[in-house]
Amino acid sequence: MKKWLSGLAVIAFTGTLLAGCGSNASENVSSGEGGNSGKITLKLLQNKPEIADKLKQMLADYNKINPNVTIEPEVTADVPTRLKTMFASGDEPDIFTMKGYADMKNWQDKLADLSGEPWVEDVLPAAQPGMTIDGKKYGFPLAIEGYGFVYNKELFAKAGIDKVPTTLTELKEVNEKLKSAGITSYAEAYRENWPLGQHLLSLPFSYEPDPEGFAKKLNEGAAQVKDSPYMKGFFDVLDMTVNYGKGQDSLGISYDAEVASFASGKSAMMQQGVWVLQPVMKINPNIRMGMFAIPLTENPEETKLPVSVPNYYVVNKNSKHLDEVKKFLAWLHDNGQKYLVESFQFTPAFTSMKASADLGPLAEDMGKYVTENKTLPWAFALWPNGGIREQFVKPLQQYIAGQMTQEEALEDLQKSWTAAVE
C-alpha cells in the first residue's frame, strides 16, 4: 500500500476536475453561566450512508473530550438536493461534504477560507487543486477513491473465468460465461441518479485524451456529446448491465438493494467503487471480491480506472461557531489515522496518514492501477452546474425502459448540456 500511495502524484490532474457547497449558523443553547459553560450544537451534512454508524461513533468520541460541543450528523446519499433545501429554509449546516472545485466555485460565497488551517500543508498534491479557488483553500479532503466493476471472485471462478476483462469483447465473454453457469451478472442501481447518470456516463468523457478540452468544446458549441468516439462503448456496457442483469427491473433497484444482491452472491458484479467495502462485508464478511476497470474499447491500453478525491468537508462561513468547526477539523486531521483510515476505511488524502492493508481488496486493486499509471479523471466534475447530473439520468432511464433510442438519448443529453451553459 505504501508503495502505491506515493504514486498518487500521477493523478494530480484528477483533483482539478472536482466540484462543490453551502452554510447557516447553529443556535447556541445556554447551559449555565454562559461563556465556556455554554453548550454548542453543530450541524453536519454528510454523504456516504455506508459509514453512518461509524460517523456517529466518531462524533460521540469527539463529544467525550469536548463535552460542550455536540455535532449532529445528517447522512444522505443526495447532499446537493438536501443542501439546497436547508439553505432555502434557513436551517443551514455548519459543515458539509462537497465534490470539489466546480461545486465549491458555485458555492464560494457561502464557504469559509481554510487556507490558514494547520492541516493544509499535509494535503496530498492530488487533492490540492480540487479544494483551491484563486489560491485559497476551501476543503478538507476525505479520501482517494476509485470505481469500476466490483466482482465476486468465487462466482467468476465457478463460471471458469480466470482473468478480468480488459476489452469490450472480453467483458461480453465474461457475461456469457456467467450466464452459461446460471449466474446473474448484475443488479444495477439504476433507480439512483449517481451510478447511472454520473459515474457510468462519466466514463466516455474520462476516456477522452483531453477531457478538459472536450468539455470546453462542448461549452463553446464546437462539439456535441455524440461526437465522443467512446459513446458507443458506453452504450455497449450499459446494454450488458441491463441484458445480463435485471433488465428493465433495474430501474427500480436502489443502491442498498444492489449491494445486498452482490453481497449475498445473487449477482456477480456491480458498478461501484472502494466505498462499498464496508456495506458488503457487513452482509457477507467472507466474500472474496476485487475490482477492475470498465473497458469501453477493444484496446486494453485504454482501459483505466477513474480515481480521484470525490468528497471534501467544507465549512459554512456564516456559522456562529466557526472556530469550533475549525477546531473539529484540526482534531479530525490529528486523529485521521484512527477514524478516516482505520474506522471509515478510507484511502487517506494526507501525507501523514498511511494507507493500510486493512483497507481491503478494492483499495488494493485500485492501488495497482495507480502504481501502473492506469488512471482516469472523474470527468463528471467538468460538467456544467445547474443540476445537469440529475437531468442526464432521465434519458438514460428512458433508454433502459425502451422509450428512447440511443440517438434520442444522446440528443436529450446534448439539450441538457446546451441549456446548462447558455
Q: What is the mean pLDDT of residues 96-118?
A: 92
Contact (CB, 8 A) for 389 and 27: no
Q: In this predicted structure, which of 1-15, 67-81, 227-241 has the lowest mean pLDDT?
A: 1-15
Alpha-carbon span 394 to 380, nearest angstrom: 16
Give the residue with greater pLDDT, 200 vs 5. Answer: 200
At 195-236, the pLDDT tens digits run 999 999 999 999 999 988 999 999 999 999 999 999 999 999
pLDDT of residue 345: 83
Q: What is the mean pLDDT of residues 353-360?
A: 80
At 290-303, the pLDDT tens digits run 999 999 999 999 99
At 264-284, the pLDDT tens digits run 999 999 999 998 998 999 999
pLDDT at 28 over 90: no
Q: What is the mean pLDDT of residues 71-90?
A: 94
Report the percentage of the chain scoring pLDDT > 70: 91
pLDDT of residue 378: 87
Assigned C-alpha cell, 296: 469501453
Cα-atom radius of gyration of the chain, to the nearest Å? Answer: 21
Distances (CA, A) of 262 to 183, 190, 240, 267, 290: 11, 15, 17, 5, 12
Give the residue with greater pLDDT, 398 vs 30. Answer: 398
Alpha-carbon span 199 to 355, nearest angstrom: 24
Contact (CB, 8 A) for 342 and 363: no
Domains and CATH numbers, the chain: 2-144+309-376 (3.40.190.10), 146-307+384-421 (3.40.190.10)
Buried b (16+ CB within 10 A) or exposed e, 173-191: ebbebbeeeebbbbbbbbb
Given CA atoms 147, 152, 155, 161 in this order, what sign does their dihedral have?
Answer: positive
Query: Where does the pLDDT of residue 310 fall: very low under 50, low under 70, confident under 90, or very high at 90 and above?
Result: confident
pLDDT at 330 over 70: yes
Query: Where does the pLDDT of residue 106 fall: very low under 50, low under 70, confident under 90, or very high at 90 and above?
Result: confident
pLDDT of residue 37: 54
Alpha-carbon span 37 to 21, nearest angstrom: 32
At 247-257, the pLDDT tens digits run 999 999 999 99
Nearest residue to 99 (alpha-carbon basis) of 79, 82, 71, 128: 79
Angle, nearest 10°, between helix axes 211-220 and 406-421? 80
Query: Where does the pLDDT of residue 373 fall: very low under 50, low under 70, confident under 90, or very high at 90 and above?
Result: confident
Supply the mean pLDDT for the chain: 89
